[in-house]
Amino acid sequence: MDSKIYGEFDLVPDALVPEAQLALTLSPSELTSHWTRCGQISDFVAGYISTAYSADPANRDMMFTAISTVFQELIENAAKFSRKRQATISVRVKHFSSILVYEVENTTTPAFAEKFVEYLEGTAKADDLGAVYLQIVEAQTESTADSLRSGIGLLVIRKDHEVRVGVRFSADDAGRPVVTVRAFHTLEGV
């Protein structure tokens, strides 16, 4: 399967050496069975990166909150939409001086991949993210309790945290869909 890319996926060259980086491998089922682990991982990543701003504790705290908030949405999506059995979520975080690059990769089902593509096609080129947000939330008010889904995670980090997002769809050796989400978080002005 040829890979297909939506949004801004290659904003930072892969060869560029970061100031700090970390990689984690997680299991989607361990996150969904103990949901608070998503927050724990988000806080760990935020703490690791924001340590670079320790000279200014107030700024470090702002960085911590912003990084954890953005990462939380990425890891929640991966946990919810991964294949659950014998599957892993790969996380890579690279810190360049003013940009943080998060990469979260997981295998998923064809149905989830299709829904995700529909979502991306509907929002990737939207000029007015605020209008898209209103449209999604107002539509939710018409949903029944059981069918309620947020659906605004990526939108909120793009709109409120000025994160640029790219998504690559490819396939693993068994032909299962692989989703790789890259988020580029500008840390200046956080």
Among 76, 91, 80, 84, which residue's Cα sits nearest to residue 39? 76
Binding mask 124-163 for other proteins (x = CB under 8 A): ------x--xx--xx-xx---xx-xxxxxx-xx--xxx--
Nearest approach in angstroms of CB 146 to other proteins is: 7
| 130 vs 134: CA distance, rounded Å | 6
Closest CA to 104 of 53, 30, 17, 28: 28
Any idea which residue has 């149905």 for tokens? 111
**Distances 190 to 41, 69, 124, 168 between C-alpha atoms, Å:** 21, 12, 23, 27
Output the smallest distance, CB 134 to other proteins, in A: 6
Q: Which of 5, 22, 24, 62 binds other proteins (CB under 8 A)?
A: 62
Of 39, 115, 117, 164, the residue at the interface with other proteins (CB under 8 A) is 39
Which span sits near other proteins by CB under 8 A: 8-16, 68-76, 106-114, 168-176? 68-76
In angstroms, give the least distance from the CB of 75 to other proteins. 10
DSSP 18: P
Cβ partners under 8 Å of residue 107, min gap 6: 82, 83, 87, 172, 176, 177, 178, 179
Question: By the criterion CB under 8 A, which residues form the site for other proteins?
Answer: 32, 35-36, 38-39, 42, 61-62, 65-66, 68-69, 72-73, 76, 80, 130, 133-134, 137-138, 140-141, 145-146, 148-153, 155-156, 159-161, 190
